[in-house]
Structure 1
Amino acid sequence: MRTLHEIYLEEQKLYEEKQDRLKAQEQAEKEWWEAIMRVQDEKAFVLEVMKCEGAATSRKIVG
Protein backbone atom coordinates (compact mmCIF):
# COMPACT_ATOMS: atom_id res chain seq x y z
CA MET A 1 0.00 0.00 0.00
CA ARG A 2 1.23 3.49 -0.81
CA THR A 3 1.83 6.05 1.84
CA LEU A 4 -0.27 9.15 2.18
CA HIS A 5 2.77 11.17 1.14
CA GLU A 6 3.13 9.18 -2.11
CA ILE A 7 -0.54 9.70 -2.88
CA TYR A 8 -0.18 13.40 -2.15
CA LEU A 9 2.80 13.65 -4.51
CA GLU A 10 0.87 11.92 -7.29
CA GLU A 11 -2.11 14.19 -6.72
CA GLN A 12 0.18 17.23 -6.88
CA LYS A 13 1.77 15.93 -10.09
CA LEU A 14 -1.66 15.44 -11.69
CA TYR A 15 -2.70 18.95 -10.68
CA GLU A 16 0.48 20.38 -12.23
CA GLU A 17 -0.16 18.40 -15.44
CA LYS A 18 -3.66 19.87 -15.58
CA GLN A 19 -2.24 23.38 -15.17
CA ASP A 20 0.28 22.73 -17.95
CA ARG A 21 -2.50 21.50 -20.24
CA LEU A 22 -4.60 24.58 -19.52
CA LYS A 23 -1.64 26.85 -20.27
CA ALA A 24 -0.98 24.98 -23.53
CA GLN A 25 -4.64 25.24 -24.49
CA GLU A 26 -4.65 28.99 -23.76
CA GLN A 27 -1.51 29.43 -25.86
CA ALA A 28 -3.01 27.44 -28.74
CA GLU A 29 -6.17 29.53 -28.62
CA LYS A 30 -4.12 32.74 -28.59
CA GLU A 31 -2.15 31.57 -31.62
CA TRP A 32 -5.39 30.63 -33.40
CA TRP A 33 -6.87 34.08 -32.75
CA GLU A 34 -3.70 35.75 -34.05
CA ALA A 35 -3.83 33.60 -37.20
CA ILE A 36 -7.51 34.25 -37.85
CA MET A 37 -6.99 37.99 -37.38
CA ARG A 38 -4.12 37.96 -39.90
CA VAL A 39 -6.28 36.10 -42.42
CA GLN A 40 -9.21 38.46 -41.90
CA ASP A 41 -6.93 41.49 -42.29
CA GLU A 42 -5.52 40.03 -45.50
CA LYS A 43 -9.03 39.30 -46.78
CA ALA A 44 -10.14 42.87 -46.04
CA PHE A 45 -7.08 44.24 -47.84
CA VAL A 46 -7.68 42.07 -50.93
CA LEU A 47 -11.36 43.03 -51.01
CA GLU A 48 -10.41 46.71 -50.82
CA VAL A 49 -7.90 46.29 -53.66
CA MET A 50 -10.52 44.48 -55.74
CA LYS A 51 -13.02 47.25 -55.01
CA CYS A 52 -10.52 49.91 -56.13
CA GLU A 53 -9.59 47.91 -59.23
CA GLY A 54 -13.28 47.50 -60.04
CA ALA A 55 -13.84 51.24 -59.75
CA ALA A 56 -10.83 51.92 -61.99
CA THR A 57 -12.08 49.42 -64.56
CA SER A 58 -15.55 50.99 -64.48
CA ARG A 59 -14.05 54.43 -65.15
CA LYS A 60 -12.12 53.07 -68.14
CA ILE A 61 -15.25 51.49 -69.61
CA VAL A 62 -17.37 54.62 -69.08
CA GLY A 63 -14.64 57.11 -69.99
Structure 2
Amino acid sequence: MNTVNPGPVDTGYGSPELWRSVAQHFPRGRVGRPDDPTRLIAWLTTDEASWITGQVIDSEGGFARTHTRP
Protein backbone atom coordinates (compact mmCIF):
# COMPACT_ATOMS: atom_id res chain seq x y z
CA MET A 1 0.00 0.00 0.00
CA ASN A 2 1.21 3.48 -0.88
CA THR A 3 -0.20 6.90 -0.15
CA VAL A 4 0.04 10.00 -2.31
CA ASN A 5 0.13 13.46 -0.73
CA PRO A 6 -1.07 15.69 -3.57
CA GLY A 7 -0.54 19.02 -1.80
CA PRO A 8 -2.86 21.88 -2.77
CA VAL A 9 -4.80 20.88 -5.87
CA ASP A 10 -7.47 23.09 -7.42
CA THR A 11 -10.49 20.84 -7.77
CA GLY A 12 -12.98 23.71 -7.86
CA TYR A 13 -13.54 24.16 -4.14
CA GLY A 14 -11.57 27.38 -3.62
CA SER A 15 -12.02 30.93 -4.79
CA PRO A 16 -9.72 32.50 -7.38
CA GLU A 17 -8.34 34.74 -4.61
CA LEU A 18 -7.44 31.70 -2.51
CA TRP A 19 -5.59 30.02 -5.38
CA ARG A 20 -3.71 33.23 -6.25
CA SER A 21 -2.46 33.49 -2.67
CA VAL A 22 -1.52 29.79 -2.51
CA ALA A 23 0.21 29.87 -5.92
CA GLN A 24 3.01 32.07 -4.55
CA HIS A 25 4.15 29.10 -2.44
CA PHE A 26 5.07 27.07 -5.53
CA PRO A 27 8.31 27.42 -7.49
CA ARG A 28 6.36 27.42 -10.77
CA GLY A 29 3.79 29.91 -9.47
CA ARG A 30 0.78 27.62 -9.92
CA VAL A 31 -1.19 25.24 -7.76
CA GLY A 32 -1.72 21.62 -8.64
CA ARG A 33 -4.20 20.53 -11.25
CA PRO A 34 -6.16 17.31 -10.79
CA ASP A 35 -4.12 15.52 -13.45
CA ASP A 36 -0.83 16.24 -11.62
CA PRO A 37 -1.29 13.66 -8.81
CA THR A 38 -3.48 11.50 -11.04
CA ARG A 39 -0.53 10.67 -13.31
CA LEU A 40 1.49 9.48 -10.32
CA ILE A 41 -1.41 7.40 -8.98
CA ALA A 42 -1.92 5.83 -12.41
CA TRP A 43 1.77 4.97 -12.64
CA LEU A 44 1.69 3.36 -9.17
CA THR A 45 -0.84 0.86 -10.53
CA THR A 46 1.54 -0.36 -13.24
CA ASP A 47 4.01 -3.23 -13.13
CA GLU A 48 6.82 -0.66 -13.30
CA ALA A 49 5.91 0.51 -9.79
CA SER A 50 5.31 -2.94 -8.30
CA TRP A 51 8.44 -2.75 -6.14
CA ILE A 52 7.34 0.47 -4.45
CA THR A 53 5.47 -0.40 -1.27
CA GLY A 54 4.64 1.27 2.02
CA GLN A 55 5.51 4.78 0.89
CA VAL A 56 4.02 8.22 1.34
CA ILE A 57 4.88 10.00 -1.90
CA ASP A 58 4.70 13.79 -2.06
CA SER A 59 3.42 15.00 -5.40
CA GLU A 60 3.10 18.63 -4.51
CA GLY A 61 5.13 20.58 -7.05
CA GLY A 62 7.64 21.92 -4.55
CA PHE A 63 4.97 23.47 -2.33
CA ALA A 64 6.59 25.52 0.44
CA ARG A 65 4.68 25.40 3.69
CA THR A 66 6.40 28.56 4.86
CA HIS A 67 6.95 31.51 2.65
CA THR A 68 9.01 34.59 3.31
CA ARG A 69 8.80 37.59 1.08
CA PRO A 70 11.86 39.70 0.33
Same fold, TM-score > 0.5, yes or no = no
Q: Which has more helix, going by share of residues?
A: 1
Question: Which structure would you say has the larger RCO, counting Cα contacts within 8 Å and 6 or more residues apart?
Answer: 2
Q: Normalization by structure 2: what TM-score?
A: 0.24
**Rg larger in structure:** 1
Q: Normalization by structure 1: what TM-score?
A: 0.26
